[in-house]
Amino acid sequence: MIANSSNLTNNVSLHALPVTDEVLKIIDGKQGEYTVLFLPMKTAYGTFTSPFCKKIAELFAEQKKESIKEELMQFFKLAIESSDIIPPADFASQQNMSLADASLLLWMRSNHFEIEVQKSLLEQLQ
């Protein structure tokens, strides 16, 4: 375990947390504000572009406008098929998609149904 708030450089803190479902759900809520390095899986996520967005950017570069329209419609259809808002990690697992795509889709869902996304435990403590 690494001591929390070990200041490395300007505005950079390092936190180490045990890998549990509860911790992963808390980290999901901080996505977009922090970059998370998940060492056991050699994965980084947080302030980065989702694979879906990268795919759309590639299609745009190839000038495949109809393909972009189809991809966006399928993604939006999945977003509005239900008004359920669950933690992004759970949704990503259920849908077999990346955490970033799941988070994006759930934010689209919350905006469409005008439902507030539940604050993470870390946000509640602030």
Q: What is the pLDDT along the chain (126 residues), one digit of tens a residue?
A: 334 444 444 455 556 677 777 877 776 666 556 666 665 655 555 555 688 888 888 888 898 989 999 999 999 999 999 999 888 888 888 999 988 888 889 888 988 898 876 655 545 555
Q: Round to whole Å and give the CA distance between 118 and 64.
A: 36
Q: What is the pLDDT of residue 35?
A: 60
- The pTM is what? 0.58
Q: Is 41 inside any structural domain?
A: yes
Q: Is 38 inside any structural domain?
A: yes
Q: Is 45 inside any structural domain?
A: yes
Q: What is the pLDDT of residue 51?
A: 87
Q: Is 120 inside any structural domain?
A: no
**Which of these, 7, 36, 9, 43, lies nearest to 122 by C-alpha position?**
36
Q: What is the pLDDT of residue 120?
A: 54
Q: Is 1 inside any structural domain?
A: no
Domain that holds residue 93: 6-115
| Residue 74: other Cβ atoms inside 10 A | 11
Q: Round to whole Å and give the CA distance between 60 and 116.
A: 32
Q: Round to whole Å and give the CA distance between 14 and 125.
A: 19
Q: Is 83 inside any structural domain?
A: yes
Q: Is 96 inside any structural domain?
A: yes
Residue 116 phi, psi dihedral angles, 5° rounding: -75, 135
Q: Is 60 inside any structural domain?
A: yes
Total number of domains in the chain: 1
